[in-house]
Copies of this chain bind each other. A is one copy, B any other.
Amino acid sequence: MSFQTAAAAASIKCGDCPIRHRAVCSRCETDELRELDGLKYYRTIEAGQTIVWSGDEMDFVASLVSGIATLSQTMEDGRTQMVGLLLPSDFVGRPGRAEAAYDVTATTDVTLCCFRKKPFEALMMRTPHIGQRLLEMTLDELDAAREWMLLLGRKTAREKIATLLAIIIRRDASLHLQADGGALEFDLPLTREAMADYLGLTLETVSRQISALKREGVIELRGKRHIVIPDLDRLIEETGDDSDGGVLT
Q: Whole-angstrom distance from the CB of A101 to the nearest CB of chain B?
A: 6
With A75-B154, A131-B131 known as contacts, the answer to whether A101 contacts B143 (CB < 8 A) is: yes
Chain A: residues with Cβ within 8 Å of the partner, total of 39
Chain B residues positioned under 8 Å from A94 (CB to CB):
139
Complex Cα–Cα for A101 and B138 (A) = 15
Complex Cα–Cα for A145 and B83 (A) = 9
Q: Is A80 among interface residues, defined by CB-CB distance under 8 A?
A: yes
Q: Which of B76, B146, B148 contacts A242 (CB 8 A)?
A: B76
Q: Is A84 among interface residues, defined by CB-CB distance under 8 A?
A: yes
Inter-subunit contact B152/A200 (CB<8 Å): yes
The chain B residue sitting closest to A73, CB to CB, is B150
Q: Which of B102, B143, B149 contacts A81 (CB 8 A)?
A: B149
Complex Cα–Cα for A143 and B84 (A) = 11
Complex Cα–Cα for A242 and B139 (A) = 28
Inter-subunit contact A149/B150 (CB<8 Å): no
Complex Cα–Cα for A73 and B240 (A) = 13
Chain B residues positioned under 8 Å from A96 (CB to CB):
136, 139
Which of A182-233 touch B at CB < 8 Å? 199-200
Q: Is A176 among interface residues, defined by CB-CB distance under 8 A?
A: no
Chain B residues positioned under 8 Å from A81 (CB to CB):
149-150, 153-154
Interface residues as binary, A235-247 with B (CB distance below 8 Å gives 1, 0 otherwise): 0000011100000
Q: Which of B135, B145, B153 contacts A135 (CB 8 A)?
A: B135
Chain A residues with CB under 8 Å of chain B are 71, 73, 75-77, 79-81, 83-84, 94, 96, 101-102, 128, 131-132, 134-136, 138-139, 141-143, 145-150, 152-154, 199-200, 240-242
Q: Provide a sorted-by-A list of 9 A–B residue pairs whose CB atoms are within 8 angstroms.
A: A71-B146, A73-B149, A75-B154, A76-B240, A141-B142, A142-B142, A145-B149, A153-B199, A153-B200
